[in-house]
Structure 1
Amino acid sequence: MPRDNRLSRSLHALIHLDRHVKRATSDAMAKMLGTNPVVVRRMMSGLREKGYLVSEKGHGGGWELRAELRDITLLDVYQAIGSPALFSIGPAADPSPCLVEHAVDARLDQALGEAEALLLQRFSQITVADIADDYLQKMASLGLDPHIFPRCSD
C-alpha cells in the first residue's frame, strides 16, 4: 500500500519557498517534488485556503509564502492537506458478527485513537521553522552553503 506523502511534500515545498525560491510555479514545484503539477495544485490549495500561501495565475505567477514558518506547525499543515489517515492499520472495514473480531476492533480503535491523539499533540509542538533549522544544521555539518538551492530531483 503506497504511503500518503502529501504532508512531507507540503513541508518540503514550504521550506523551499521560504529559503530558496520565494515564488514558484506548480510546474517548478512538481519537478522539485518528483510529481505532477496537478498534484501540487491540489496539495497547495489547502495551504492557500488556510492563509499560509498565496497564488497568482499567469506569466510571473506562482505560489508564494504568506506566513512565517515559525507560525506554521506540522498540525497546521496536516489539517490544511485534509487530515489524511495517520495509520494504515485498523479494524476490519466490514462489520462482522464475530465477538472475537468485536473485541479486537474495540482494542485497536482505542489504541489507535490514543496514538493519534499523542501524535497530533506532538505535531502541534513542531513548527516548519524547526524543520528548516534542521535542514540548515545538516547543510552546515556537510560544509555546504545553505543559500545555494539544493538539488532535490533528477
Structure 2
Amino acid sequence: MKRDSRLSGVLHVLLHMAEHDGPVTSEILARAMHTNPVVIRRIMAGLRDQGYVRSEKGHGGGWTLACDLSKVTLRDIYAALGSPSVLAMGNRTETPGCLVEQAVNAALGQAFEDAEALLLARFGEVTLAILSADVHERLIAHGESHHLENTHAS
C-alpha cells in the first residue's frame, strides 16, 4: 500500500518558504521537492484557499506565506488537505455478516479511533513555528545556511 505523504510534503514546502525572502516560484519549489511544478501549484492552490499562502503573478512573482507560523498547527494543514486518512490499516469489510469479522472489527475499530484521536491531538500541539525553530537548530548544528535551491543537494 502506498503511503500518503502529502502532509509531510506540504509541511516541507511551507518550511522552505518560511526561510526564503520573497516569493518562491512553483518551479523552484518543485525542484527542491523532486516533483512537477503542476503538483506544487495544485497543493498551493488548496493552501491559498485556506489563507495559508498567497500567490503573485508576473515577473518576480511566486508563492509567499500568508499566515503567522506560531498560529498554524500541523492539524490545520492536515485539515486544509482534506483530512486524509492517517492510518494505512483498516477493518476488513468483505463479510459484514460474519460474527468473527464483527468481533475483530469492533476491537480494531476502537483501537484505530483511539490512535487517530491521539495523533490528531498531537498535530494540534505542533505549530509551524516549532518546526521552523527545529530547522534552524539543525542548520546551526550542521554549520549550514538555508538555500532552497541547494538544500537537498547533500
Length-normalised TM-score, structure 2: 0.90
Deviation, structure 1 residue 148? 4.2
Pair 122,142 (structure 1): closer, same or farther in 2 beyond 3 Å = same
Task: Name 1:38's counterpart in structure 2.
Answer: 38
| Count of residues paired in the alignment | 153
SS in 1 for 2:18: helix
Query: Which residue type is aligned with residue 82 of structure 1?
Result: G
- 1:116 to 1:11, Cα distance in 2 relative to 1, 3 A: same
- 1:1-154 matches, within 5 Å, as 1-145=1-145, 147-149=146-148, 150-152=150-152
Aligned equivalents of 2:55 and 2:25: distance in 1?
A: 9
Structure-2 change in CA distance of 1:60 and 1:117 (3 Å)? same
Q: TM-score when scaled to structure 1?
A: 0.90
Letter in 1 for 2:46: G
Q: Secondary structure at the match of 1:64?
A: strand
Name structure 1 gaps, 5 residues minimum: none
Which has the larger displacement, 22-31 or 115-124? 22-31
Which structure 2 segments of 5+ residues have no match?
A: none
Q: 1:22 to 1:15 in 2, by over 3 A?
A: farther
Code of the aligned partner of 2:5: N
- Taking the aligned partners of 1:22 and 1:144, their CA distance within structure 2 comes to 20
